[in-house]
């Protein structure tokens, strides 16, 4: 379904984006496909992540929440009425409820009330149709992907293209999920170990807007983890250190100090809507900065 949808739509990828992944230019910023390429495809779908890679992203960034049976899936929030067709499914009408998430009352349908099999019957839709009206034509075409499927996509594209595409997951509401017995950190660390070597230079950054999960994950893995509480120190991020074939450090191995395009890094006027436009260095005492 994803392949056929992409094949039916011609996408022009700037020449710079097509080749920058293997350029040894150390001035090239690290590009994060934040939620994929949501300016062109509904966010957090395999189609969006794949297009982000096509457009030159070095890393793809899924937001992660849990299903009822403890499977990590990629959604902007655990309330899914705005990102799926669940409100149109009469068989799930009785799942609509109100919950308190981070001291706010939220009404709708929640991933933690659905098994993975049930969630897979839903279809993704554009979250902000008033902002990205063109994406509405893809409503109903794509499934909600699991984190494993996102990792598989990055691995498959890395093998196919001969370059390494990294993973930049963000855990959503980890304390809330922990409070209902669906901790995010254990399945996250386990999935990353299945796909990446457990070492500091693995092509992985984990974001969390709660300090606790970063500390828990750091204890479970040697991969780089990202904290996002207010910076209390200027702890430098740990750089990836994969040397290029010519002995110089490749763009992909540079630490993500920023991904805001510079005049030298991108041709004037070149923009990639839907690919993340900025990264703020922060630290919570772990090692990697967080994305806003």
Catalytic residue among 44, 76, 173, 196: 76
Beta strands 170-171; 207-208: pairing state: parallel
Q: Which two tokens stand for residue 73?
A: 């899936």
Rounded CA-CA distance 142/125 in Å is: 8
Catalytic residue among 34, 44, 173, 196: 34
Q: How far is CA 4 from CA 7, 9, 106, 138, 161, in A?
A: 5, 9, 36, 12, 20
Is residue 76 flagged as an active site residue? Answer: yes
- Which residue in 36, 60, 41, 38 sits closest to 252, CA to CA? 60
Is residue 34 flagged as an active site residue? Answer: yes
Catalytic residues: 34, 76
């Amino acid at each position: 379904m994803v392949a056929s949808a992409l094949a039916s739509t011609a996408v022009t990828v700037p020449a710079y984006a097509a080749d920058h992944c293997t350029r040894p230019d150390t001035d090239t910023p690290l590009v994060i496909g934040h939620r994929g390429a949501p300016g062109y495809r509904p966010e957090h779908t395999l189609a969006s992540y794949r297009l982000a890679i096509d457009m030159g992203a070095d890393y793809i960034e899924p937001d992660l929440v849990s299903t009822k049976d403890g499977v990590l899936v990629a959604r902007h929030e655990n309330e899914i009425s705005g990102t799926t067709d669940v409100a149109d499914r009469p068989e799930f009408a009785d799942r609509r409820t109100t919950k308190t998430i981070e001291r706010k009352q939220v009404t709708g349908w929640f991933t933690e009330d659905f098994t993975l099999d049930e969630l897979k019957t839903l279809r993704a839709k554009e979250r902000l149709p008033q902002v990205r009206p063109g994406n509405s034509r893809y409503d109903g075409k794509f499934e909600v992907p699991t984190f494993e499927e996102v990792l598989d996509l990055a691995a498959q594209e890395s093998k196919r293209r001969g370059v390494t595409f990294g993973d930049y997951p963000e855990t959503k509401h980890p304390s809330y999920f922990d409070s209902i017995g669906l901790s995010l950190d254990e399945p996250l660390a386990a999935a990353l170990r299945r796909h990446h070597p457990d070492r500091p230079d693995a092509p992985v950054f984990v974001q969390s807007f709660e300090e606790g999960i970063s500390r828990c994950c750091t204890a479970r893995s040697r991969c780089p983890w990202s904290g996002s509480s207010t910076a209390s120190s200027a702890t430098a991020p740990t750089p990836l250190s994969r040397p290029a074939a010519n002995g110089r450090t490749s763009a992909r191995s540079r630490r993500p100090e920023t991904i805001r395009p510079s005049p030298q890094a991108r041709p004037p006027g070149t923009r990639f809507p839907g690919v993340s436009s900025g990264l703020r260095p922060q630290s919570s005492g772990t090692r990697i900065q967080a994305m806003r």
